């Protein structure tokens, strides 16, 4: 018996992913409608943003392109949680009906096995949109494009993603204690919407809540790893 290391898990994930995509595309109408829906969600989010800045040239000292930069940044950093951890939305139902037990009978990591079942392909559209926005705003702000800058950007994106993942997993795990944990998961999603804007535009109370809860979640994630 070979040890189950990270390469083993990557291989399994790739296989399950390939099968999942194949089966998703077999529901053709669903695939097309949800792709169109995803495009509209992104466009409408952007339009709201754009209208806001048509009326105010800057908000609390932040210019249009700076805000756009953060907007793109948040879209990209949200992609991993959207694509890889989408099964969190069904966790509540699985626990409630008792179906969750079936995940306990395989000789692999339970968390991995559960999350591997679903890959949300719609997140990839968001990624493309986010990268486009980020690149566009980057140029407009006049930020230098150096290797160091790029490295910083990657590190920041990774850590931001980890925070988002931690937040959503913690919220989804609430279903082990709470009957209707949907609202907690929903709250977590709304919460991350605030990440699209710079923190200084919020009041001090909000700022305190954001910072302390991020700190708590990040430390939890690091400990869990």
Partner 1 sequence: MSAIIEIKSITKEFKVLNRREGLAGSLKDLFSRNYKIVRAVDNISMSIEQGEIVGYLGPNGAGKSTTIKMMTGVLEPTSGEILVAGRIPYQNRTENAQEIGVVFGQRSQLWWALPLIESFRILKDIYQITDADYEGMMKLYRSLVDIEPLLHKPVRQMSLGQRTLSDILAAFLHNPKIVFLDEPTIGLDVSMKAKIRTLIHALNKEKNTTVILTTHDMGDVDALCRRIVIIDKGKMLYDNDIEHLKGFFGSYRTLKIRIDGNLKEQAADIQKELPDCTVSADEEWISVLVDEEKAKVIDVLGALQKTHRIRDMQLEEISTEAVIKKIYEEGVQ
- Applying CB under 8 A, the residues found at the interface with partner 1 are 1-2, 4, 11-12, 15-16, 19-20, 23-24, 26, 98-99, 101-102, 104-110, 117
Looking only at the bridges linking them, the beta strands covering 62-63 and 58-59 are antiparallel
- Nearest Cα neighbor of 31 from 21, 41, 40 is 21
CB of 122 to partner 1, least distance (A): 17
Of 24 and 220, which has the nearer Cβ to partner 1?
24
Give the three-class secondary structure for 95: helix
Q: Are 138 and 54 in contact (CB under 8 A)?
A: no
From CA 20, how far away is CA 119, in angstroms rounded? 7
Of 106 and 215, which has the nearer Cβ to partner 1?
106
From CA 72, how far away is CA 46, in angstroms rounded? 10
Give the three-class secondary structure for 57: coil
CB of 34 to partner 1, least distance (A): 15
Tokens linked to 200:
């200084």
Of 56 and 105, which has the nearer Cβ to partner 1?
105
CB of 11 to partner 1, least distance (A): 7
Of 33 and 110, which has the nearer Cβ to partner 1?
110
CB of 151 to partner 1, least distance (A): 35
């Amino acid at each position: 018996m070979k040890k189950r290391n990270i390469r083993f898990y990557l291989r399994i994930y790739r296989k399950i992913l390939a099968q999942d995509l194949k089966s998703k595309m077999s529901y053709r109408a669903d695939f097309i409608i949800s792709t169109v829906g995803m495009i509209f969600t992104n466009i409408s989010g952007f339009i709201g943003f754009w209208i806001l800045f048509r009326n105010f040239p800057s908000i609390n000292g932040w210019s249009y392109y700076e805000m756009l930069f953060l907007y793109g940044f948040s879209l990209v950093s949200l992609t991993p949680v959207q694509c890889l951890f989408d099964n969190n939305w069904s966790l509540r139902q699985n626990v409630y009906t008792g179906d969750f037990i079936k995940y306990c009978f395989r000789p692999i990591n339970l968390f991995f096995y559960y999350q591997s079942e679903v890959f949300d392909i719609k997140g990839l559209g968001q990624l493309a949109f986010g990268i486009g926005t980020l690149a566009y705003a980057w140029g407009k702000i006049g930020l230098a494009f150096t290797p160091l800058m790029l490295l910083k950007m990657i590190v920041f994106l990774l850590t931001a993603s980890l925070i988002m993942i931690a937040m959503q997993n913690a919220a989804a795990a609430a279903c082990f204690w709470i009957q209707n944990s949907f609202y907690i998961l929903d709250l977590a999603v709304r919460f991350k919407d605030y990440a699209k804007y710079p923190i200084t535009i919020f009041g001090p109370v909000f700022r305190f809540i954001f910072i302390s809860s991020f700190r708590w979640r990040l430390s939890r994630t690091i400990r869990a790893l």
